[in-house]
Amino acid sequence: MNIVFLDSATLPRQLQFNFPYQWQDFAYTSPEETCERIANADIVLTNKVYMGATEMDAAPNLKLIAVCATGFNNVDIEAAKTRGITVCNVPAYGNDSVAEHALMMILALMRNLPAYTRDVSAGFWQKSAHFTHFSAPIRNVNGKTLTIFGRGNVGKTLAHYAETLGMKIIWGEHKNADMVREGYTDFQAALKQADVVSLNCPLNEQTYHLIGENELQIMKPQAILINLGRGGLADEQAVLAALKYGQLGGAGFDVLSQEPPRDGNPLLSHLPNLIVTPHIAWAGDNALDRMVQILQDNINGFIAGTPQNVLV
């Protein structure tokens, strides 16, 4: 089997398989390079490199696309299905890691940690006439309401963590839904009640700009917005404006609409109530170990005739 890993730099771990194979990996692959690099591949590993109909047709021996992530919006599933190419992903490997990252952002923003560390660095505490320096509101999470959009593994894990801190959990219904499912709250009502909104849903046509200017106006003044789902779930320009004008109390983003943001991004701004991390919520050490094991099992199982985590 000829195996090609298109963006191996995104997974700092060694992979091994229990069948004969030839291995070729590339730290990074541009769209213009993909077809040439997979021309002789039987198996393609990709984290974020796009695999569409054109790319699949360039690899006549292609049998398996192994996505090195839970999200698979970088693979044209219908194109793979019509060509008889199996696609598998790595589900649930990073539940704890992503949920911990979200909780870290919630706590930091509710207590205005970035603002206070900035003040200390700027020397404001040192110049205080008192033992303390108070410049921004500090809010406990106990008793506050967390609205989560996305009731998957990460959302459920985050809800569990937040509940142990005394937060009330609301599950937000789909935007523009015809009916509200049992256990969910109407989209707008869920926004209105939230002290914190966390986006943990996939990105698709229905969820693109799930949170925009109108939704930000619906939210409580000084509410917190967390996005660890996908860039594009929130209108980044609208989020920046809401932060600057005081509608939002804070925002924590681990994902942006373009990654890496080589062309800039509205959220690459130095604001004391904004935390942006470089898409690393998934990368806790235990999560990486689980990802590698599941990825290897996916590929070994496919070759053995017992495929798992199959999307198509």
Backbone angles phi, psi at 108, to 5 degrees: -65, -40
212: left (phi over 0), alpha (psi -120 to 50) or beta: beta
Backbone angles phi, psi at 242, to 5 degrees: -65, -35
Task: Identify the CA nearest to 76 among candidates 34, 22, 27.
Answer: 34
What is the dihedral sign for C-alpha 226, 228, 229, 235? positive
Local confidence pLDDT in tens for the 312 residues of the chain: 999 999 999 998 889 999 999 999 999 999 999 999 999 999 999 999 999 999 999 999 999 999 999 889 899 999 999 999 999 999 989 999 999 999 999 999 999 999 999 999 999 999 999 999 999 999 999 999 999 999 999 999 999 999 999 999 999 999 999 999 999 999 999 999 999 999 999 888 899 999 999 999 999 999 999 999 999 999 999 999 999 999 999 999 999 999 999 999 999 999 999 999 999 999 998 999 999 999 999 999 999 999 999 999
Where does the chain hold its CATH 3.40.50.720 domain(s)? 2-93+285-304, 95-276
Beta strands in the chain (DSSP E): 2-5, 22-25, 43-46, 64-67, 86-88, 145-149, 168-171, 196-199, 223-227, 248-253, 274-276
Query: What's the CATH fold of domain 95-276?
Result: Rossmann fold (3.40.50)
Q: Residues 6 or more apart from 60 whose CB is under 8 A from it? A: none
Query: Looking at the whole model, is its pTM more than 0.75?
Result: yes
* 64 bridge partner residues: 43, 86
* 224 bridge partner residues: 196, 250
Measured CA to CA, the distance from residue 272 to residue 87 in angstroms comes to 42
For residue 12, the model assigns a pLDDT of: 85
Q: Tell me if residue 273 falls in helix, strand or coil.
A: coil
* 25 bridge partner residues: 5
What six digits make up the tokens of 254?
A: 């681990």
For residue 23, the model assigns a pLDDT of: 97
- Residue whose token pair is 């804070």: 250
Pairing verdict, β 43-46 and 22-25? unpaired
Measured CA to CA, the distance from residue 301 to residue 312 in angstroms comes to 15
| CATH 3.40.50.720 matches 2-93+285-304 | yes
For residue 71, the model assigns a pLDDT of: 84
Measured CA to CA, the distance from residue 211 to residue 238 in angstroms comes to 9
Q: Where are the alpha helices (DSSP H) in 51-94?
A: 53-57, 77-82
For residue 70, the model assigns a pLDDT of: 87
Name the residues annotated as catalytic.
Answer: 230, 259, 279
For residue 73, the model assigns a pLDDT of: 87
Backbone angles phi, psi at 121, to 5 degrees: -60, -35
